[in-house]
Structure 1
Amino acid sequence: MGLHHESTGSKASKGVIGAGVAGFLELFMFHPLDTAAKRLINHRGWANEPGGFAKVVFKEAANQSLVKKVGSLYRAFGYAVGYKMLQRALQFGSHPIVNDYIKEKYLPFYKEQFGDRWAKTMISGTSGIFIGTFEVILLPLDALKVKRQTGVQFMSSKPIAPATPTPGPVNNKAYSTSTKPLSGLHTAIQQNSITTNARAMARQSPFLLAGLYRGATWTAARNSIGLFALFGASTFVKEDIFKLGAPGAAPATVSQLFVASLAGAFSSIAVAAPFDVIKVRMQATSIDAGRISGIELLKVLVKNEGLWALTKGVVPKMIASGPKVAFSFTVAQWLTEYFGRM
């Protein structure tokens, strides 16, 4: 007797693989625009003076060649690879599992509360809330990525210097413990590498690691409301507009998946924008800097920059993150179905 239902483990593995591949492809295509958005969000003021926009976005490469300008937007690429693949695998890979579980256990309740038309949309959105809250475990990778993208010094205080060894003969030759400053590419590699940052943290108090979780509450709120809108709006388009959930309906086409994903992405960006501004501002500090609450930061931001500051970076995010999330979500769904057919 054949198996008519795919096992949960098999479904999860296909979803995670498809979402991870989608996140990797997304990163190569859209990382520069993400960096530009982060720098605009973190800029205190408005980039409306002559040449101001280029200085905010490209920083030290503002007056250099186009190749160097584009290259400057690939800062934090190493952190982004790990973060983005894990994030997409968690978001798009686990959503079908969580969504199916809630549907199996609580579908009658949702139908009673929201009606037959909205039940699946609300279940899909609720699944996004759970996933968005759990996603906060990836915050350290995201925080390191933001610090590198915005050019923030990793630590504001000077790292503790290692103990100086006692001079002595090595291979019958005296040696000096003094070291010459590194220069050129070697210096850049040492200052910017993940290994160097990890060593710097290890030399400092372990409590500094908590600095990488700065803004965790705001991040959880931003992720939850963003994924609620992403999955909810996407499900609404697929179920109510394209009627893909109807009995006997044909499988979704790539164009249908993209349109539904794009609707979800724009909805997510719109509702999560204020939370995103606070999150980036909290992350774009040295990890040993003094703590400031999100509420205090919000008060200062509104006082000095106005309410419109809560929409900073929303245009680049709509231009970049909208198609980027839609692309990744579409590829993840298509690959999952493709692996299922295989």
Structure 2
Amino acid sequence: MSPPAIGGNLVEKESTIARILGAGTAGVAELAIFHPVDTIAKRLMSNQSRIASASQLNEVIFRKSASEPAVRRFFTLFPGLGYAAAYKILQRVYKYGGQPFVRDYLTTHHGDSFNRTFGKGNGKAIMAATAGSIIGVGEVVLLPLDVLKIKRQTNPEAFRGRGVMRIVRDEGFGLYRGWGWTAARNAPGSFALFGGSAAAKQYLFKLSDYNSATWFQNFIASIAGSSASLIVSAPLDVVKTRIQNQNFEVKESGVKVIAKMARNEGASSFFKGLVPKLLMTGPKLTFSFWLAQTLIPAFNKMM
């Protein structure tokens, strides 16, 4: 049976359980494989000096363990794993599982408006992108877990022996520092992620039902979406990371961070870590997004 059509658009209706299971499985798999890669990217983005040699790169990535044997150095790339597990799994369930609900709402209540404004095919892709942008802004709810994860990865001295409950009690809403920059990054980044994927399915593969995409089509669509997302969100992601990796008592605003970066490091500093992110974080995002897009319809068929 074909999916129902609303406002001239086919609606991909998956069950709530299928969305949660598919997105959650993608989050678990991503964390297990890519947490060390994420640590490397965060440390490169946090570095404020020019890297001119392999030895300097080694020190930026491995820090005090730069001279340790390779095996020991590798295990230093797993700080904040507990925070990362809580954040990443909740984030993927919220983002990949939540976007379809917003998309369904937009299709049901505003589908005709999108079609009139952008055209039938364009309207569906823009709705998917808009739903992603809305859900991306709401992702700031999970910000404290991301803050704790990033500090563990890049600035463990900020904890000074305090446990998570003590930090939450001491810092309170201070853990939401940088929430505005996070929302500003997530809005275009999530728009590009879901929009790029939808555009690939719509225009490259000529699909009217996105859930009918094969695993290969989902893979190509995920590459398109994740690459677009990383490029669009790169400057604000660097600012966000620098705000979040400061010591808890530092209250430097995003505007000051931007001014200091522009003055001391130049315009290229806003794209620091972009190549490693495209080479390392890009595959991570592609992998989890591809897995979610493939598993959600698969779980739905099994229910």
TM-score by length of 2: 0.91
From 152, 158, 165, the equivalent of 1:198 is 165
One-letter code of the match for 2:236? F
Q: What secondary structure does 2:212 align onto?
A: coil
From 193, 197, 204, the equivalent of 1:234 is 197
Shift of residue 265, structure 1, vs aligned partner? 0.1
From 163, 166, 172, the equivalent of 1:209 is 172
Return closer, same or farther for 1:283/1:250 CA change in 2, 3 Å cut-off: closer
Contact 2:19 2:296 (C-alpha < 8 Å) held by counterparts: yes
Number of residue-to-residue matches in the alignment? 294
From 239, 254, 265, the equivalent of 1:278 is 239
Structure 2: any 5+ residue segments left out of the alignment?
A: 5-11
Alignment of 1:193-342 (within 5 A): 196-202=163-169, 204=170, 208-245=171-208, 251-289=212-250, 291-342=251-302
CA–CA separation in structure 2 for the residues paired with 1:250 and 1:14:
13
Contact 2:27 2:89 (C-alpha < 8 Å) held by counterparts: yes
Q: RMSD across aligned C-alpha pairs, in angstroms?
A: 2.1
One-letter code of the match for 1:310? F
Structure 1: any 5+ residue segments left out of the alignment?
A: 157-190
CA–CA separation in structure 1 for the residues paired with 2:115 and 2:168:
51
Shift of residue 12, structure 1, vs aligned partner? 2.0
Q: What secondary structure does 1:142 align onto?
A: helix
Q: CA deviation digits over 1:245-296, x for unaligned, max 9?
A: 16xx99211111011011000000000000100000000112222x222111
CA–CA separation in structure 2 for the residues paired with 1:311 and 1:128:
23
Alignment of 1:1-342 (within 5 A): 11-49=15-53, 51-155=55-159, 191=161, 196-202=163-169, 204=170, 208-245=171-208, 251-289=212-250, 291-342=251-302
Greater CA drift, 296-305 or 249-258: 249-258
CA–CA separation in structure 2 for the residues paired with 1:85 and 1:95:
15
CA–CA separation in structure 2 for the residues paired with 1:33 and 1:10:
32
One-letter code of the match for 1:16? I
Q: Going by fraction, where is helix more abundant, 1 or 2?
A: 2
Contact 2:21 2:299 (C-alpha < 8 Å) held by counterparts: no
One-letter code of the match for 1:21? T
Shift of residue 197, structure 1, vs aligned partner? 3.0
Displacement over 3 Å in runs of 4+: none
Contact 2:155 2:247 (C-alpha < 8 Å) held by counterparts: no
One-letter code of the match for 1:292? E
Return the index of the structure with the highest Cα Rg: 1
CA–CA separation in structure 2 for the residues paired with 1:9 and 1:116:
19
CA–CA separation in structure 2 for the residues paired with 1:200 and 1:330:
36
One-letter code of the match for 1:315? V
**Counterpart of 1:187?**
none
